[in-house]
Amino acid sequence: GGALAQPSHVKHWDIDTEFIMEQGIRLPESHPIHKQIGMIGITDSDLSLLRAIKPHLLPHIASITDIFYATILDVTSLSEMIQSHSTIERLKKTLEQHISEIFDGVIDEAFLKKRFKIAEVHHRIGLDSKWYMGAFQNVQNGLIDIIHQHIGDSQLQIRMVMAIMKIMNLEQQIVLE
Ligand code: HEM
């Protein structure tokens, strides 16, 4: 337990909430993905928030991928899958890079293409959706835990968590389709 304990020595991030709002959704208006983006209400404000915490979050990402792989290695079939297709070290780097890129707060053709590629790779190695979703939940838990520890303002906490949940939901919609 104690995952949500907040040690008093933890320093709160000094987040620039006056950040410049940038257009994060960069796709032609006719693009079909707008329907999915609109359904869960991802806005440029959400994406700007993600960008605002990226520099604070970066030093903590390795701790998330550590948990991610510890839980994966507990499942024999997944452990074997990694051994026959990659290495822990390589996958850790891949995932760190991937989480970091989510916080660029940009949804464009490259964003979509990368998710299609992830789906393709996971399909090729035979990764079941249930394991992908379980692993994904752990990444999300890790991010929320870090947000909870480092953002003092509860309004900002919630906005941040919602922005993360939305972009990660979109990601799963695309990868699992
Ligand atoms: C490949 C992300 C879950 C095993 C990848 C790639 C990404 C990725 C970005 C690289 C795709 C490319 O080549 O462009 C994720 C995310 C996950 C997830 C975000 C969930 C949070 C899993 C799980 C496993 C797994 C649960 C099971 C062990 C692999 C393997 C590769 C791969 C073996 C090929 C890696 C290689 O080429 O070395 N994944 N993955 N992934 N993933 Fe996942």
Give the pLDDT band of residue 50 (cuts 50, 70, 90): very high
Alpha-carbon gap, residue 55 to 172, rounded angstroms = 24
What is the predicted ipTM? 0.95
Does the pLDDT at position 91 exceed 70?
A: yes
Q: Contact at 8 Å (CB) between 138 and 68? A: yes
> 40 alpha carbon to ligand 1 midpoint, in Å?
25
Q: Which ligand 1 atom sits nearest the alpha carbon of residue 87?
A: 38
Around 161, how many Cα atoms within 13 Å sit in the side-chain half-sphere? 16
Of 63 and 14, the structure prediction assigns the larger pLDDT to: 63
**pLDDT of res. 45:** 94
CB of 60 within 6 A of ligand 1: the answer is no
Does the pLDDT at position 101 exceed 90?
A: yes
Q: Which ligand 1 atom sits nearest the alpha carbon of residue 68?
A: 21
Give the pLDDT band of residue 14 (cuts 50, 70, 90): confident
Lowest mean pLDDT among 58-62, 67-71, 91-95: 67-71
CB of 131 within 6 A of ligand 1: the answer is yes
Does the pLDDT at position 2 exceed 60?
A: no
CB of 95 within 6 A of ligand 1: the answer is yes
Structure-derived torsion over alpha carbons of residues 163, 155, 49, 107, reported in degrees to the nearest 10: 20
Cross-strand pairs, 107: 25
Expressed in angstroms, the distance from the first to the final Cα of the chain is 35
Q: Which of 46, 62, 53 is nearest to 97 (CA)?
A: 62
Q: Contact at 8 Å (CB) between 45 and 166? A: no
Q: Which ligand 1 atom sits nearest the alpha carbon of residue 138?
A: 21
3-state SS assignment for residue 26: coil
> 126 alpha carbon to ligand 1 midpoint, in Å?
11
Phi then psi for 8, rounded to 5 degrees?
A: -70, -20
